[in-house]
Amino acid sequence: MTTIAPDLLTPGTAQRAGRVARMASLVRAELLLLARNRTTLFNAVALAPLTVGFIAVAGLVPDSAAGAVAGMLLAALIALALVLVVYYNLTTTIVARREELVLKRLLTGDVSRVEIITAYATPAVVVLVAQIVLGAVAMAVWLEAPSVQNPLWVTIAVVGGTVLFTLLAAASAGFTRTVETAQLTTLPILMAATALSGLAVPLHVMPDVVEAIAQWTPMYPVVALVQHGLGAVALDGTVASGALADVVQPLAALALWIVLGALAARRWMRWEPRR
């Protein structure tokens, strides 16, 4: 078998190989920590299907509305996983690693800031994907499988939402002194993201000014894109069409928040404890 000596690799190839090796090492360490956390693993594996099963067994869903409810549940599942699993858990993880001086030690090596944040976000993304997949399977068993009319919008919603709330977690960690105070520092985004997303309270029942503001909050574009991708029926009875003209505003809002999140993370993310 032919091997390539390290000194024969081009500088660019060697640099990429080193980056991949560093990322793999960091990700492996974080996944091992996830595997040892039984509570997190239980939430990842059982929480979503148990929630769907409870709703179905309790008889809260009429047979004629099973498909519509499945679409609403999937949108809610994605939204809650983003704010709780990705945003909140990642904020506490970054704060804990910072206070333990792990971030400071990592920066003394060759690993970059982007690699560090990506590695720490990986377990949250794994849990997010597990909850979405298992929740969808549970819906297919107990309710009705959610029909995906346009997978592109759903994919953009999940990927873009993951990037956005990862960046917001990095920014929020800069304002958080301890893991315990994360419950307070993350509360504004948690409340705004859930209350104004259109999941619990339809936007059309809000005053016009509040509705206009809600459409530019961080979670609304994710929910809107998921609903359009699924062709879901909203609480006001309207059906999301999935047409490009109907998703221009959610796409613009999501892109804007990703840019703002990147700027906020770069400005407020702290890599060592405050003195």
Tens digit of pLDDT for each residue in 170-221?
999 999 999 999 999 999 999 888 888 888 777 878 888 998 999 999 999 9
Average pLDDT over residues 120-136: 89
> Mean pLDDT throughout 227-243?
65
pLDDT of residue 242: 62
CA–CA distance, 146 with 152 (Å, rounded to integer): 15
Does residue 273 form part of some domain? no
Report if residue 68 sits inside a domain.
yes
pLDDT at 235 (0 to 100): 46
pLDDT score of 38 more than 50: yes
pLDDT value for 17: 66
Assess if residue 57 is contained within a domain.
yes
Query: 4 falls in which pLDDT band (50, 70, 90)?
Result: very low
The pLDDT value recorded for residue 28 is: 85
DSSP 8-state assignment for residue 47: I
Mean pLDDT of 118-147: 86
Quickly state the pLDDT bin for 168 (edges 50, 70, 90): very high
The total number of structural domains that make up the chain: 1
Domain assignment present for residue 241? The answer is yes
- Over residues 86-99, mean pLDDT: 93
Q: Which domain holds residue 263?
A: 20-268
pLDDT band at 73 (very low <50, low <70, confident <90, very high): confident
Could you tell me the pTM of the whole model?
0.86
- The answer to whether residue 247 sits within a structural domain is yes
pLDDT, residue 10, reads 63
Asked whether residue 233 is domain-assigned, the answer is: yes
* 9 lies in some domain: no
- Distance between CA atoms of residues 109 and 142, nearest Å: 50
What integer pLDDT is reported at residue 16 of this predicted model?
A: 67
pLDDT at 62 over 70: no
Is residue 11 domain-resident? no
